Chains A and B, each alone.
Chain A
């Protein structure tokens, strides 16, 4: 019986395509071209920019000047639609000289419309810049969106705090953040690198990371109550598994270990069920003349498939499906559900509900990722 599990991409070498898009309420700045087709980009390079427009101000010119005749009101207005105006700029004037009464712009913005004696002004709030967040080549560029293609290791994570960085990374010393806290920040090898912890992190650990001027923290999990705190940090915090006490997925940390010394893009997007963006780590790698495979997205579960278990008691384990029993199985808590028999890396075979298995983006029959 075919079953198509969910997927978290954990690949040693893949062709990775990422879209960067301006939010809907941002007007693209088309005055200068930032990127073009085929152009290489750096992770922290701006690929899109625009103005996030703010609220509307409806300015009743007739009321301001106490003029009822619409025709007369029209003659007082000094600006035109689509005109950019600055705070304090004159929008309408009645009279001359020192006795003139002037309606000034309450903010920087753009006149969007003039109708029935009203000036409708849209306030410019801030300039928005969208970073590439992964190094690569521009495959498609439009006013509102660009596609970036890169090659390397891809690790999708569970949660991120909304920050991103591109840089080197380093595993924590044996005594973890405690050892880190004792280091002299001016000579510490953990300064200006992303710190990788294979154990769940606490608030104290994040404070140590900040004090040691780390560029980011990657860990299996942290208490969910730390979310608000983590969101205020200026460096990325990436959780590979989730919240609470979660076991690390060995494959992820082995992949990071294998590529130690390289720089990676740590994109700690906060996951949103209705968004296409996922928190992830991308380690750009040379692929030579060979085009690496794009992650296989729609694969049925089969005997031989490498899977990741995402729910306790075996969460974080990677295994291989050795049997797909055709009938539902009774699991530990008495539920009767469709399961797979999965051989874990310690050779133990466990019956795992299909719902708790994830694919890793590999095509069936390929060698395990850490052998790539």
Chain B
């Protein structure tokens, strides 16, 4: 898909459930660089119901930041002006994850083969599988027809059969689909995507083509041994664009500006993870985790192949209530150094779902939200593990680097907290590089690679991905408080830091980012990294310095009695900031009179002064 004309500048939008982000890439001295990023509230939902407004707001903001005009002043012309005289852009692309997930009904032959492969394809985009059908289904034709119609799927995904294999049995399933579609007289007709036995493609089109739009892709299981997901994933991206364009939220107008329509954000991730998996790096491959307001996803490079887990029911905003139903309040409470009842946590989740774009202000609220993020990631890992095929142990396979996206992870109060959230949730063992993707650059560049792969290669090196630092996390555990790690850090500026990390502690070495450091770690008996108790490694310091985690792998959670104190210690170690946890807030709300309701809560003033002594070591990432 490489473009023949040179692209000097490229604007890429990601329309998320809460934020619409824009990144601007430009040729600087012959290399594509991230020049600026901006964001605005997504405006897909009422009252505006048009993502174009959010795009305009984000573009206006970028213009304010860098002085480059992007929007066309003429309403009847193209949205973005072409590049000329330092203004405008050559190309615009858009990805999206906002809006209701696409509902999919899956038709296949065997649950273990074709239906499993179908789920692998669907794992790459934002879908909810409503139901599935296979020849072993004991339901009558009448029940199946009613099931399809009742679920109102947006897509019927038909797979099954090897190329040149048996035909009649799949055709029988397609006949059920035809019977159902022929009864759709109002509402939206589901689209069909066929990625089964290639010999049946024409017959399926003939059976269903007069009723609905039929997309077709190469067989996802051309033989029993071979799984070929990529062509179906690409076709699914087109179906998604089609679905989004016809959905409320004004995606059609936004998509018309983009050269490739609005494709799922995950498609960009896929492309980027595929590239990163090919790089000669230590570890199995990269691992990228993105916790959003409505969706959360985990992408891993396993044996140079991307593996995806997307949960459209897990998020810290729009889907906080659904997430809590999976997580349970008890799991959240493990990460909270204060008392919070299950009812309080449910109230919190419901309020967050009502106001998904809001931001925690108190320490308690922030910790609850970060606890959600930890547990969502743990669920994602549990879901993804069987698909990785890397054993069934409780520890995370050695993915490296680990890259985090989503505001809850990238915009913590301190980079050290971002790092700790990843370490708590994923529990990597060994030496792992931690990265942040605050601009959603990875998915944007993955999409840019559709135009020209060079854009991704060059722009990835331009510094848009933030180096959090390297974490040393030994396997095993030692008694709390006993010496666990003897660390020596020789920095490139000549400074030497010696430190002993105690069991049950986490330590963030105080270094400035961007320095090369030679790290030597000696571990107490019971701890090891790569089977060794002493090792040296050269690392680059990051915004969270260098991290040494002696809390044990698997992570040993403090006992209930000591949990609060220990948890506050960890927070302090990773942020340099002590928490002032107020007593359970607003226990008693008095009955207000109507004269002046605002004045009824004077007591709330106390204890809510902003911290003025915070060193502000974490810069807001917006201007680059």
Chain A residues in contact with chain B, CB under 8 A?
1-7, 9, 24-25, 27, 55-58, 112-113, 120, 122, 158-159, 171, 174, 176, 198-200, 223-225, 227, 242-250, 253-254, 257, 271, 273-274, 276, 278, 295, 297-298, 310-314, 316-318, 327-338, 344-346, 348, 351-353, 355-356
Give the Cβ gap from B427 to chain A, nearest Cβ, in Å: 24
Q: Which of A176, A243, A332, A352 contacts B363 (CB 8 A)?
A: A332
How far is B183's CA from A99's CA once the two chains are assembled, in angstroms?
35
> Which residues does chain B contribute within 8 Å of A295, judged by CB atoms?
47
Chain A residues whose C-beta falls within 8 Å of the C-beta of B608 in the assembled complex: 313, 332
Cβ–Cβ < 8 Å partners of A176 in chain B = 591
Q: List 19 A-B contacts (CB under 8 A).
A: A1-B61, A113-B183, A120-B183, A198-B592, A199-B589, A224-B349, A242-B354, A245-B587, A253-B594, A273-B318, A273-B356, A298-B48, A328-B620, A333-B365, A333-B366, A334-B614, A335-B360, A345-B599, A356-B358
The interface residues of chain A lying within 8 Å CB-to-CB of B614 are 330, 334
B361 lies within 8 A of A331 (CB):
yes
Q: Which of B47, B344, B360 has the most CB of A within 10 A?
A: B47
Complex interface: chain B residues within 8 A of A250 (CB): 596-598
Are A333's CB and B361's CB within 8 A? yes
Q: Tell me if A332 and B609 are in contact (CB < 8 A).
A: yes
Q: Are B149 and A56 in contact (CB under 8 A)?
A: yes
Alpha-carbon separation in the docked complex, A192 to B477 (Å): 67
Looking at B140-148, B296-304, B430-438, the stretch in contact with chain A turns out to be B140-148
Contact: B187 with A25, CB < 8 Å?
A: yes
Check if B355 sits within 8 Å of A336, measured CB to CB: no
Interface residue B215 (Cβ < 8 Å from any Cβ of A): no
Q: Nearest CB to that of B49 among chain A residues?
A: A276
Are B142 and A58 in touch, CB under 8 angstroms?
yes
Determine the chain A residues whose CB is within 8 A of the CB of B605 once the complex forms. Answer: 348
A-facing residues in B31-85 (Cβ within 8 Å):
40-41, 43, 45-49, 53-54, 57, 60-61, 64-65
**A56 near B358 (CB under 8 angstroms)?**
no
Residues of B within 8 A of A274 (CB): 45, 99-100, 248
Structural contact, A310 and B355, CB atoms closer than 8 A: yes
Residue of A24, A112, A250, A353 ringed by the most chain B CB atoms within 10 A: A250
**B386 interface hit (Cβ, 8 Å):** no
User: Given the interface contacts A55-B150, A312-B585, does A4 sit within 8 Å of B40 by beta carbon?
Assistant: yes
Least Cβ–Cβ distance between B401 and chain A, in angstroms: 24
B361 touches A313 (CB 8 A): yes
Q: Tell me which residues across on chain B come within 8 A of A7, comparing CB atoms.
A: 47
**Cβ–Cβ contact A198 & B598, under 8 A:** no
Question: Among A245, A335, A338, which residue has its beta carbon within 8 angstroms of that of B589?
Answer: A245
Among B603-620, those with CB < 8 Å from A are 604-605, 608-612, 614, 616, 618-620
- B188 → A minimal CB distance (Å): 8
A4-B40, A122-B183 known, 17 other contacts, Cβ within 8 Å? A4-B57, A27-B186, A55-B149, A113-B183, A198-B594, A199-B589, A199-B592, A242-B354, A243-B351, A248-B597, A314-B361, A333-B361, A333-B365, A335-B411, A338-B620, A353-B361, A355-B357
Q: Which of B64, B358, B610 contacts A1 (CB 8 A)?
A: B64
Task: Compute the total of residue contacts between A and B using a CB distance below 8 Å.
Answer: 219
**Complex Cα–Cα for A198 and B65 (A):** 44
| Cross-chain contact B592 with A330 (CB below 8 angstroms) | no
B residues near A333, Cβ cutoff 8 Å: 360-363, 365-366, 413
Q: Is the CB of B61 within 8 A of A331?
A: no
Is B414 an interface residue, CB under 8 A from the partner?
yes
B611 touches A330 (CB 8 A): yes
Closest chain B residue to A9 by CB distance? B47
Q: Within the assembled complex, what's the spacing in Å between the Cα atoms of A227 and B350?
A: 10
- Indicate if B577 sits at the interface (CB-CB under 8 A): yes
Most B CB contacts (10 A, CB to CB) among A3, A171, A295, A334 go to A334
A69 to chain B minimum Cβ distance, whole angstroms, is: 22
Residues of A within 8 A of B188 (CB): 24
> Any chain A CB within 8 A of the CB of B225?
no
- Check if B586 sits within 8 Å of A356, measured CB to CB: no
* Complex interface: chain A residues within 8 A of B354 (CB): 158-159, 242-243, 271
B230 interface residue per 8 A CB criterion: no
Interface of B is mostly: loop
B290-321 interface mask toward A, CB cutoff 8 Å, 1 = contact, 0 = none?
A: 00000000000000000000000000001000
Contacts of B149 in A (CB 8 A): 55-56
Q: Is B490 an interface residue (CB 8 A)?
A: no
Which one of A5, A310, A327 contacts B41 once the chains associate, using CB atoms below 8 Å? A5
Given contacts A58-B141, A274-B248, A332-B362, contact A247 B599 (CB under 8 A): no
A115 to B141, CA, bound (A): 15
When the two chains form their complex, are residues A248 and B592 in contact, meaning their CB atoms are under 8 A apart? Answer: yes
> B263-301 CB contact bits vs A (8 Å, 1 = yes)?
000000000000000000000000000000000000000
- A242's partner among B45, B351, B619 (CB-CB below 8 A) is B351
Residues of chain B within 8 A of A112, CB atoms compared: 183, 185
Given the contacts A313-B585, A328-B620, A334-B575, A199 and B362 also touching, CB distance less than 8 Å: no
CA distance A171 to B593 in the complex (A): 10
Q: Is B610 a contact partner of A2 (Cβ separation < 8 A)?
A: no
- Please, which residue of chain A has its CB at the minimum distance from the CB of B143? A55
In the complex the two chains form, is B57's CB within 8 Å of A2's CB? Answer: yes
Would you call A247 and B360 a contact (CB within 8 A)? no
Q: Which residue of B lies closest to A54 (CB)?
A: B146
Given A2-B61, A56-B149, A312-B362, are A224 and B592 neighbors across the interface (CB < 8 Å)? no
Of all chain B residues, which has the CB nearest A278? B46
Kindly report which residue of chain B lies nearest to residue A353, judged by CB atoms. Answer: B359
- B99: A residues at CB distance < 8 A: 274
Determine how close the nearest CB of chain A comes to the CB of B251; give it in whole angstroms.
Answer: 13
Residues on B with beta carbons closer than 8 Å to the beta carbon of A120: 183
Q: In the complex, A247 Cα to B344 Cα: how many Å?
A: 16
Q: Does B398 contact A (CB under 8 A)?
A: no
A353 CA to B620 CA, complexed, in Å:
14
In the assembled complex, B347 has its CB within 8 A of some CB on chain A: yes
Q: Note all chain B residues with C-beta closer than 8 A to A245.
A: 586-589
**Residue of B at shortest CB range from A355?**
B359
Nearest residue, chain A, Cβ from B577: A334
* B46, B182, B414, B597, most chain A CB atoms within 10 A: B597
Nearest CB on A from B375, distance (A): 19
Interface residues of B in 1-58 (CB under 8 A from A): 40-41, 43, 45-49, 53-54, 57
> B167-202 toward A: CB 8 Å interface, digit per residue (1/0)?
000000000000100110111100000000000000
Instruction: Check A56 against B357 for contact (C-beta < 8 Å).
Output: no
The answer to whether A334 touches B48, judged by C-beta atoms less than 8 angstroms apart, is: no
Residue of A nearest to B582 (CB): A313
How many angstroms between the C-alpha atoms of A95 and B43 in the bound complex?
Answer: 65
When chains A and B are docked, how far (Å) is the Cα of A36 from the Cα of B619? 59
Residue of A nearest to B414 (CB): A334
Q: Roughly how many angstroms separate A357 CA and B411 CA in the complex, as a whole number? A: 19
Q: Would you give the 0/1 interface string for B326-353, flagging 1 where the beta carbon is closer than 8 Å to chain A?
A: 0000000000000000011011111101
Check if B360 sits within 8 Å of A311, measured CB to CB.
yes
Structural contact, A24 and B362, CB atoms closer than 8 A: no
Query: B350 to A242, Cβ gap below 8 A?
Result: yes
Which residues from B are CB-within-8-Å of A253?
594, 597
CA distance A317 to B188 in the complex (A): 43
